[in-house]
Structure formats: C-alpha cells, structure tokens
Amino acid sequence: MNLIQTFCLGSLRNISRNRFLWVILPLLIVFSNFLGLNGDIMYTLFTQSCACLAIVFVHESKCDLQVRETVWSTRYNLVNYSIGRLLAYSIATLIIIGLCEIVMFLHGSNGYIGAVLHHNGEHITISMRFPWQLWLKTFFSMLPIFVLLLCVRNYYRLGLITAIGYWLYIFAFVILLRQNILIGTITSGFYPLRWLAIIPSTNVFLYAWADPIPWILPSLGLAGLGWFGYLAKCMWRKTAEPLHIKPAWLGLGLALSCLSLYLGYQQFVAMLHMYNPASVF
C-alpha cells in the first residue's frame, strides 16, 4: 500500500507540474466560453481537458523510462507502480472534471447548463446544474486510454502518437463536426469501423446525454483486460521487471475483465436501441 501511495503521489506531482496541462487547460476554458456554455460545449470541455492527460501520461512515461534504472534498484514492482499511476491519473481526471464544473458554475446561466436534443422530430430542452452523466462518462472513458498508454509506456513515439491521435480524434472529428464520422451509427449506413462503437472511449461524444451506466462495465472490462493482459505478457516474456503477482490472480483478473466486457456489451447494445444517436444530433 505504501508503494502504491508513493507512486501515486509521485505521479500527481508530475501532473501538477506539467506545463502543457497548465497552458492547454485555460485555453480550452477560454475556447469553451467563446463558443458559449451549452451542454455540448461543456462536454467538449470535459472530454478535451481530460484527453490532455493522455499526453501528460506519455510525457511522464518518458521520464519514468529515464529514471527506471534508479527506481528498479529499490523495492519497485510493476503491479504497485501501475496501480499507483492509474490511481493518480484517475484522481487527476476527477480534479479536472471538478475544475471544469467550477468554470461552468461561474460562467453558466445560474450554474445550469443546457442542451437541446432532437428526438423523434421533437425538441427536448434539458437543463442541469450537475451533469453527472457527463462526469461519469468522461471519467470511465479515460480508463482504457490510460491502460493502453501504460502498456506502451516503454515506446515513447508510439505512446505519443496514440495520445495525440486520441486527442485530435476527439477534437477534429468528434467535437468540431459534432458527429462521429469514422464510426457512424449502429443503425444506419455502412461503416466498417462501427464495431468500435462498443469501445466507449472512441465515442464519448455520441449519446452525450444518454444513460452513463452502460459506459462503466465496458470501460472497466477493457481497462482490466488491457492491464491484466499486459501483466500476463510480462510474466510470459520473463522480463526482469519484478511483478509480485501470482498467475492465479492474473487468471482471475482476466476472467472478470472478460465477463465485465461481455455484460457491458449487452448493456451497451440495449442502450443503443433506446438512444438512437442519429436522432439525438
């Protein structure tokens, strides 16, 4: 527990001192204010701000790679290190969501944000003071990205391309065009990549106001599968990196992750039938 805490606090220190984050966050907030604070823009702000953390994660991985000989000579082990880092970035995600919420509260209309949905030909206006759906969705959609970046942490360029790609993907394709042109929708048209819709991290902007619960299990399943799979790979390849985990725990973790992904998939498909994204936007 002490090791996890140490790694977590170390990561939080790196995040809090990252210049990129402190430059880009105010820019995003200004950008959001410029466009006006409605629900879509708030969601833009949430997802964009949190996606910045992916780039910060890669930058920290680069530093970790440089200091790893020193750190490995201590009581370091991969399980504690990765839990500590994932915990730190989860906390940072929550803090950023909280900051965005404060900005919204200060500049929104009496602290409320609103959105107009087009549903079956009708205009539905919703207004919320605490858009918890957005918080939850943004938070859980970041988990698989962090795990993916953890798995490629020793390959700086690959990690950077992944993080920037994810950020640009949200920015360019999803936010500016306000529709998911890569994946499309489940119900209409021919979209070869539409199976990606099951990965919540790739389509957070779709179904913005839909029930956030179907995001939880698939995200946890994906993150678990990625993390336990990575540990299993390290164990299989017999790297010198100390693991401190028994194969039985790995097997159990992988099985639970698969179960979570499967159940999440069922929930997600059920949700898609309820909220047809083509009619939402």
Positions that interact with other proteins (CB under 8 A)? 2-3, 6, 10, 13-14, 17-18, 63, 66-67, 69-76, 238, 240, 242
Q: Tell me how far, at minimum, the Cβ of 247 lies from other proteins, in Å.
A: 14
**C-beta closer to other proteins: residue 2 or 120:** 2
Q: Tell me how far, at minimum, the Cβ of 231 lies from other proteins, in Å.
A: 15
Output the DSSP codes for 52-111. Answer: HHHHHHHHHHHHHHHHHHHHHTTT--HHHHHHHHHHHHHHHHHHHHHHHHHHHHHHSBTT
Side chain identity at residue 49, one-letter code: S
Q: Tell me how far, at minimum, the Cβ of 208 lies from other proteins, in Å.
A: 36
**C-beta closer to other proteins: residue 5 or 266:** 5
**C-beta closer to other proteins: residue 67 or 248:** 67
Nearest CA among 146, 169, 143 for reference residue 58: 146
CB neighbourhood size of 240 (10 A): 6
**C-beta closer to other proteins: residue 211 or 241:** 241
Q: Tell me how far, at minimum, the Cβ of 63 lies from other proteins, in Å.
A: 5
Sign of torsion over alpha carbons 37, 38, 41, 47: positive
Q: Tell me how far, at minimum, the Cβ of 254 lies from other proteins, in Å.
A: 22
**C-beta closer to other proteins: residue 71 or 117:** 71
